[in-house]
Amino acid sequence: MSFESANEVPPIIETHALTRDFKKTRAVDSLDLSIRPGELFGLVGPDGAGKTTTLRLLAGLLNITSGSAKVAGYDLARQPEAIKRKIGYMAQQFNLYGELSVLENLSFFADLYDVEVSELRERTERLLAFAGLTEFKDRRAAQLSGGMQKKLALACTLIHQPEILLLDEPTTGVDPISRREFWDILTDLNLAGTTIVVSTPYMDEADRCLRVGLMYEGRMVVCADPQQIRARIEGELIELRPDDWQAACALIESLPGVLEVQTYGNLLHVLVDSADKRLPEIETALRKHGLTYRGVRRVTPRMEEAFISLIRRLEVD
C-alpha cells in the first residue's frame, strides 16, 4: 500500500496559500488545493464565495496577490502562456463571437491554439457531432439556444484537446435536458482522462463529482468526496409538508432533539439526533397545536441538505 502511494502521480493542479485581493475584498484566501490527474472536481459555495476567481486564477486570467500555484507542471505566475496550451477554460457567460457561425467560431479557436491543419477537419467534425451541433454548423452563434451555446463553448474549449478543463457554472441557465446531456459529455471526457474542475450551483451536479470543494468567503472549508460530505451532516433527516409551514417550523425548532430545520418552499427538512425517537414526538406536538401536515417520512440526506447545514454552521461562527 505504502509503496503504491509513494509512486502516486503528482497533482496536475496544486496551489499553496493562493490568495487574490480585489480593491476591498479578499476574493480567494490562502487556498490550498491539490487535484490529481483525471479527477472530476466540483467547486461549490454560495454566490461570492470565490469560485469564479479561483477558476480565473487557475486559467491565468488574473494576477496572483500572494501564494503560488502549479498547473500542468508549470508555474502559474511565471509561465501562464505555457499553461494556456494545456487548459480549456469556459466562462460562466456566453463568451463566443455571436456574429460568427458555429464552424467559424471553432476554426477561430483552432487557429489560435495552433491545431494541426491535417487534424482540423476530423476533429471539428467529431466535436460538432459530440456537441450535437452538426446540423447547425452554419448558424450564427448568437442565434443558438442557450443549451446549444454552452455546448458550442465547450466544443471551442476542447478544440486543442486540453489536459485540464476549467468550467465556470457551465449549466447555469440551461434547461434540465440540456443540463443532463452536458454532464453526460463531461463524464465521457473525464472517463477519457481529462481532468475537470467545474463550479456549480446545483447539488445534484456536485454529487456527480469525484471530489467536492466547498468554498465560503474565499476559503476552502470542506474538500472531500460527496459521500463524506453527506456523512458530515449530523443526525438524521425527516421530511414533512405542513399546511402552515411558518408556525410548524417555529414549533419544531423548539422541540428537544431537533438540530436544524431547513425549508424548501412549504416542505420542511428536519434534522434530528434520532429519527426513530423524534418522529412520533414531532407528530404529537403538531397535532397538539392543531397544525395539519401531510407526507411525513424519513429520508436520506442529500448534498443539498449537507451543503445548507454546513453553510449555516459557518454563518453562525
Alpha helix positions (H), the chain: 2-6, 51-58, 80-84, 102-112, 117-130, 146-158, 176-191, 203-207, 226-231, 245-253, 275-288, 303-316
Coil, strand or helix at 6: helix
Count of alpha carbons within 13 angstroms of residue 297, beta-carbon side: 5
CB atoms closer than 10 angstroms to residue 145: 12
| Helix or strand run (H / E) with residue 198 | strand 195-199
Shortest approach of another protein to residue 150 CB, angstroms? 13
Nearer to another protein, 116 or 122 (CB): 116
Shortest approach of another protein to residue 293 CB, angstroms? 47
Q: How far apart are CA 112 and CA 159, in angstroms?
A: 10
Q: How far apart are CA 315 and CA 191, in angstroms?
A: 37
Yes or no: say if 134 and 125 are a contact pair by the CB < 8 Å rule: yes
Shortest approach of another protein to residue 110 CB, angstroms? 8
Q: How far apart are CA 104 and CA 107, in angstroms?
A: 5
Shortest approach of another protein to residue 105 CB, angstroms? 9
Q: How far apart are CA 276 and CA 89, in angstroms?
A: 48
Nearer to another protein, 92 or 262 (CB): 92
Nearer to another protein, 48 or 257 (CB): 48
Nearer to another protein, 82 or 224 (CB): 82
Residue at 287: amino acid letter: R
CA dihedral 132, 138, 142, 145 (to 10 degrees): -30
Nearer to another protein, 91 or 209 (CB): 91
Shortest approach of another protein to residue 278 CB, angstroms? 50
Nearer to another protein, 10 or 98 (CB): 98
Nearer to another protein, 8 or 114 (CB): 114
Q: Is 141 exposed, middle or buried (0-12, 13-18, 19+ CB in 10 A)?
A: buried
For 238, phi then psi, to 5°, come to -120, 140
Closest CA to 206 of 45, 92, 14, 58: 45
Q: Which residues make up the interface to another protein (CB under 8 A)?
A: 22, 56, 59-63, 80-81, 84-85, 87, 89, 91, 93-100, 104, 107-109, 111-114, 140, 153, 156
Shortest approach of another protein to residue 80 CB, angstroms? 7
Nearer to another protein, 153 or 306 (CB): 153
Yes or no: say if 222 and 230 are a contact pair by the CB < 8 Å rule: no
Shortest approach of another protein to residue 154 CB, angstroms? 12
Nearer to another protein, 84 or 123 (CB): 84
Shortest approach of another protein to residue 305 CB, angstroms? 34
Shortest approach of another protein to residue 29 CB, angstroms? 18
